[in-house]
Chain A
Amino acid sequence: MNPQTATTLLELRDLRTVFHTARGALTAVNGVNLSLHEGEVLGLVGESGSGKSVTLRSILRLVRPPGKVSGTVLWRGTNLLELPESRLRKVRGGEISMIFQEPMTALNPVLNIGEQITETLQEHTNLSSQDRNARATELLELVGIPSPKERLKDFPHQFSGGMRQRAMIAIALASNPKLLLADEPTTALDVTIQDQILKLLLRLKDTLGMGVILVTHDLGVVAQTCDRVAVMYAGRIVEVAPASELFAQPRHAYTLGLLNSVPGAQSTRRPLIPIPGAPPNLANLPPGCPFSPRCPYVTNACKLEQPALQAISSTRLSACIHFDRLEPVNAQPPPEVQP
């Protein structure tokens, strides 16, 4: 993927999602700028509270009050945030589909899978009712559900976890989307099933030519599926890079910390290098870089001003002022902080 030549499919500009609660405003997404190219799988990684899921939901304005989304979500020339609800509905589940972590709660338990697929087809295509049934069978086959014709009449509870996730993907694909938003689609699944679903997603992306934004906390999943990765921390994007470059050498202290926290293949029973402290409290962020209280590279400059996300090479962005001082992954932690 070369960002210069690929066409931009979706662009987020200064996306901001604020939850106005009784205890004050919580900024879950804080000025996110991001673009997705056609046919690209973009990973959005971060820990709990990083704002990755809210970012994904904000794209389709699926944030419930007291949440408020502002900024620009540019989808093929139109700003989705300014689109009237009736036109947004055509985009939602039409050009842009979404799949979730818990298929059981995302599927309607009282409708059979066939009805749920044809419902989407009815909403977003002009197919006749007979064609809709044929298409529904086709879709189940596409996502690898055996004997699809018979399973159309089954209800969600008759499917296993992996099969439910496949059914949800089939529903999402019914409208021929150009973009699939996947919110931790494999987190609730077992490893061997996760592997199947991720490979299915990659295969579908290639055959259908979709862009995919994959939200996950699992670095292994990112490494195996994403072309490009955006790392989020405390509602901000702190690093964007092609996956191969990111895993080879992170250019943000937080990304480095994350990769160091994961046990590598060789380091059996040696202490890991954790990130000290706990993920940040959105209600109480420090001034300057939000990662500074946990960062081994912190200097005074980090605490003064929030570093901006800047291009550090033709392919990479980082919001770390020490991006060129970072050690390789799994090296020993840097010497004690110099003032």
Chain B
Amino acid sequence: MAAPSLVAAQTSSRTRVRLKPSLIAGIVIIGSLVIMALVPNLVAPYSPTNFDYQAVLQAPSIKHPFGTDNFGRDVLSRVIWGAQVDMQIALFTTLFPFVFGTLVGAMTGYYGRWLDAIFGRIVDIVVTFPFLVLVIAIVALLGPGLNNMFIAVSAVGWITYGRLVRGEILTQKKAEYALAGRVMGYTASRIIFRHLLPNAITPAVVYWMTDMALGILLGSSLGYLGLGAQPPTAEWGVIIADGKNFMTTAWWISTFPGLAITVAGIGFSLLGDGLADLLRPKG
């Protein structure tokens, strides 16, 4: 008896939206990356593709904080320009899966029966293949390049969102407010989109943030393997691949884009955690 009353006591006082430090950190990290992606020319000190044979394989210095690569390109500028490509990858490998998966999950969760059965079979088929292997197979089929990579990842990635949302909708549709909506005579689409989805989508949004980090990892892995972005495009995975032959002599070429991937990953995770907190309904 006491426990619920304590909770009630805490929530009944008006609560102001207070951002947690971790969420602020996430916003700052992802915000800076987005700025780099939008206006790299204003942020980067040099062109990412300009060769400078006077300054080949220079160690980090004031002039080149991240050093230079074997063509004398400034690694800092390449990492900054890489943000543009990698943020695109983060967005386009996940946007379609998020939207489509959520829709499919909502429909299968709400209607169930044969729709659910079909979805279940598709899930069974897809989860038997390792994700990366499946994506590589599709890219190999379509040919390397960013666009084909987006298609490959989207074709497989929506499944996870679909399962997440389906599970949430299954619980939410049994809640009495959803039943009340049916007794009020509301249409299925109103109940799904106006009532159930806002209460069911939070885990999908949170996963979306994590998935963007995974997307960057996947994109740079494919870039590294030569299946994603093609050189000389400055993409973090491509830059790492560029530096792989100089790992012992010029560690900075691969290390800084690697760090960039890590920082982006942490940023998306913090953002996801913070959003989960923020989106949770009160009471």
Contact = CB atoms under 8 A, between A and B. Distances in A.
Nearest to A184: B1
Q: Which of A52, A279, A282 has the most CB of B within 10 A?
A: A282
A23 B10 contact: yes
B9 A50 contact: no
B6 A28 contact: yes
B187 interface: no
Interface in B1-26: 1-2, 4-6, 8-10, 12-13
Interface string B127-138: 000000000000
A49 B10 contact: no
A23 B4 CA distance: 16
B6 A26 contact: yes
A205 interface: no
Bin the interface of chain A by size: 20 to 34
A138 to B, nearest CB: 34
Interface in A175-224: 184, 215, 217
Interface in A27-54: 28, 46, 48-54
Contacts of A215: 1
A21 B1 contact: no
Contact of B9 (A52, A53, A184, A282): A282
Contacts of B9: 26, 49, 281-284
B93 to A, nearest CB: 38
Q: Which of B2, B5, B9 has the most CB of A within 10 A?
A: B2
Contact of A53 (B1, B8, B12, B13): B1
Given A281-B12, A284-B13, A19 B6 contact: yes
A279 B6 CA distance: 12
Nearest to B15: A23
A76 B1 CA distance: 28
A48 B8 CA distance: 10
Nearest to A216: B1
A48 B6 contact: no
Given A28-B2, A49-B2, A53-B1, A21 B8 contact: no
B5 A279 contact: yes
Contacts, number: 46
Contacts of A52: 1-2
A19 B10 CA distance: 12
Interface string B95-120: 00000000000000000000000000
Contacts of A46: 1
Contacts of B8: 48-49, 281
Contacts of B1: 46, 48-50, 52-53, 184, 215, 217
A51 B13 contact: no
Contact of A48 (B5, B10, B12, B13): B5
Nearest to B10: A23
A282 B13 contact: no
A184 B12 CA distance: 26
Interface in A279-335: 279, 281-284
Contacts of A281: 8-9, 12-13
A317 to B, nearest CB: 22
A167 B9 CA distance: 35
Nearest to B5: A49
A123 B212 CA distance: 54
Given A52-B1, A217-B1, A282 B6 contact: yes
Contacts of A21: 6, 10
A285 to B, nearest CB: 10
Contacts of B5: 28, 48-49, 279, 282
Nearest to A217: B1
A236 to B, nearest CB: 14
A184 B3 CA distance: 14
Q: Which of B5, B6, B8, B10 has the most CB of A within 10 A?
A: B5
A50 B13 CA distance: 18
Contacts of A48: 1, 4-5, 8
A176 B206 CA distance: 52
Nearest to A28: B2
A279 B2 CA distance: 12
A53 B10 contact: no
Interface string B36-70: 00000000000000000000000000000000000
Nearest to A51: B2
A325 B236 CA distance: 82
Contacts of A49: 1-2, 4-6, 8-9
Contacts of A184: 1
A23 to B, nearest CB: 6
A247 B6 CA distance: 30
A258 B5 CA distance: 18
A19 B12 CA distance: 17
6 closest Cβ pairs, A-B complex: A49-B5, A54-B2, A283-B9, A53-B1, A282-B9, A48-B5
23 contacts: A19-B6, A21-B10, A23-B13, A26-B6, A48-B1, A48-B5, A49-B1, A49-B2, A49-B4, A49-B6, A49-B8, A49-B9, A51-B2, A52-B2, A54-B2, A279-B5, A281-B8, A281-B9, A281-B12, A281-B13, A283-B9, A283-B10, A283-B12
Given A26-B9, A49-B8, 14 more contacts: A23-B13, A26-B6, A28-B2, A28-B6, A48-B1, A49-B4, A49-B5, A49-B9, A51-B2, A54-B2, A279-B5, A281-B9, A282-B5, A283-B9
